[in-house]
């Protein structure tokens, strides 16, 4: 008796959890090589305050800039 061909079902896409993903050493931009040459931190802010915070940071940066003598 001949074997019946069976269609293989499509593989389901499985999302990896964050816990299972590890970063390899040396991957990405080197630390301290950003615009300000210092460590950075990602923060979450309410969307309705985001633009105000950006504007505040720009004003603060302008106020602390050294002026050429």
Predicted confidence at residue 50, as pLDDT, reads: 95
Tally: H helices and E strands in the chain: 1, 0
Q: Which whole number is the average pLDDT over 4-11?
A: 56
| pLDDT tens-digit series, residues 28-66 | 777 777 777 777 788 999 999 999 999 999 999 888 876
b/e sequence 7-41, b meaning 16+ C-beta within 10 Å:
eeeeeeeeeeeeeeeeeeeeeeeeeeeeeeeeeee
pLDDT at residue 8 tops 80:
no
pLDDT over 80 at 6, yes or no: no
């Amino acid at each position: 008796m001949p074997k019946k061909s069976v269609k293989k079902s499509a593989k389901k896409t499985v999302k990896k959890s964050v816990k299972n993903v590890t970063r390899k050493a040396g991957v990405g931009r080197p630390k301290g090589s950003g615009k300000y040459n210092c460590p950075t931190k990602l923060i979450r802010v309410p969307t309705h305050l985001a633009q105000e915070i950006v504007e505040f940071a720009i004003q603060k940066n302008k106020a602390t800039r050294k002026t050429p003598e």
